Amino acid sequence: MQNERRLAVLRAIVEDYVATEEPVGSKALVERHGLGVSPATVRNDMAALEEEGYIAQPHTSAGRVPTDKGYRLFVDRLTTVKPMSAAEKRAIASFMAGAVDLDDVVQRSVRLLSQLTRQVAVVQYPTLSRSTVRHIELVALAPNRLLAVLILSTGRVEQRLVELPEPIDEDALADLRNLINRAAVGEVIADAVTALGRLVAQQPGSQAGAAVVETLVDAMSDHRSDERVAVGGTSNLARYGDSFETAVRPLLEALEEHVVLLKLMGEATAGGLVTVRIGAEGPYQELAQTSVVATGYGPRDEALATLGIVGPTRMDYPGTMAAVRAVARYLSRILDEA
């Protein structure tokens, strides 16, 4: 019972400090939260929490503020991620429904996430190396020229012109299209490349097939998007003012470096798992006043990339975790339907 009461006191301190940015005193806790115990008992609990490193006193005669250890316990003891309201879900669905292509989907996601959380949002573009081939289309433009269209599970579409060394008729083109799709569809990129290579080896006389496969392999090997990220809501940092000033500069620098951002966000996690890294738990000491809330997204529960938010440790963790999970689910659903 004592531990549960202390956890309730810690939870109240976190909630009040996030809401007010003011150190929290025992009198305010009793008045606001109806803890069912006397102010003296709350003071004793606060003293115990401080001794254990969950809260700290920023200066003499002040109330208490949560430490990184306190935030960690608060997050770990969240029984469930707060669900989004029906109105919030409708707003998300409506905003995401108008997207026209992958770039638009990612940009809408990052804007939506920054608006919902009032934090800096980061969305990684789906990683090419983890995606699978959904379909390959070959379209005849001229007797010696084809358009090869590669459609991936991420919703990404690559189009390449193929100049053929010899003309190809409709029947031969249909046969080639079927062979290539049988070899590559459903395979992850690396396996699709291997399968297409075997196909060429089995058809040594097909110059058209070799030309098409070479073009497709080149398209599959284009990893430029693997380190692409979209960032939104940087202006939200301004609302933290002096309290976050020492952390803003290194964070702004990190936002310019996509490789740093991706390391900060961590590996994509599948199954709707939302990860929270608080303060010094992250990979960069200069961002020790920063927390990251992130999750993976992708079609059919495949974690092809990561999205999340970056902000000060003083944040609304339950609301932020709910928003990150909700946007990831909608984004995954769009990619699943693409």
CA angle at 278 for the pair 273 and 281, rounded to the nearest 5°: 95
Q: Of 224, 253, 275, which residue is a domain's last?
A: 224
Task: For residue 150, list its beta bridge partners.
Answer: 136, 158
303 neighbors 268 (Cβ within 8 angstroms)? yes
Q: The domain spanning residue 261 has which CATH number?
A: 3.30.450.40
Q: What is the pLDDT of residue 79?
A: 67
Q: The domain spanning residue 147 has which CATH number?
A: 3.30.390.60
Report phi then psi at 3, rounded to 5.
-65, -40
Radius of gyration of the chain (CA): 26
Distance (Å, rounded) from C-alpha 49 to C-alpha 21? 19
Two structure tokens written together for 235: 């202006």
Task: For residue 163, list its beta bridge partners.
Answer: 145
Q: Give me the residue label for tokens 């459903």.
A: 186
Q: Of 76, 97, 115, which residue is a domain's last?
A: 76
Q: What is the pLDDT of residue 222?
A: 60
Whether residue 70 sits in one domain with residue 100: no
Q: Of 224, 243, 262, which residue is a domain's last?
A: 224
Whether residue 281 sits in one domain with residue 195: no
Whether residue 233 sits in one domain with residue 121: yes
Answer whether residue 113 is part of any domain.
yes
Q: What is the pLDDT of residue 303?
A: 77
| pLDDT tens digits for range 30-71 | 888 877 888 888 889 999 999 999 999 887 777 899 999 999
Whether residue 218 sits in one domain with residue 256: no
Whether residue 234 sits in one domain with residue 220: no
Whether residue 300 sits in one domain with residue 248: yes
**173 is in which domain, residue-wise?**
129-224
Whether residue 137 sits in one domain with residue 116: no
Q: What is the pTM of this model?
A: 0.76
Distance (Å, rounded) from C-alpha 66 to C-alpha 156? 43
Whether residue 215 sits in one domain with residue 232: no
Q: Which residues of the chain have pLDDT under 50?
A: 224
Q: Tell me the HSE value of 12 on the side-chain side, using a 13 A CA sphere.
A: 24
146 neighbors 139 (Cβ within 8 angstroms)? yes
CA-nearest of 166, 160, 168 to 140 is 168
Whether residue 165 sits in one domain with residue 299: no
Whether residue 196 sits in one domain with residue 105: no
Answer whether residue 81 is part of any domain.
no
Whether residue 243 sits in one domain with residue 114: yes
For 164, other C-beta atoms within 10 Å of its C-beta total 19
Distance (Å, rounded) from C-alpha 162 to C-alpha 215? 7
Answer whether residue 291 is part of any domain.
yes
For residue 72, CA distances in Å to 16, 39, 107, 320 come to: 16, 25, 31, 15
272 neighbors 253 (Cβ within 8 angstroms)? no
Answer whether residue 99 is part of any domain.
yes
Q: What is the pLDDT of residue 203?
A: 75
Domain count across the chain: 3
Helix (H) or strand (E) holding 281: none
Q: Is 295 helix (H, G, I), strand (E, B) or coil?
A: strand
Answer whether residue 95 is part of any domain.
yes
| pLDDT tens digits for range 294-329 | 999 887 767 778 999 998 899 999 999 999 999 998
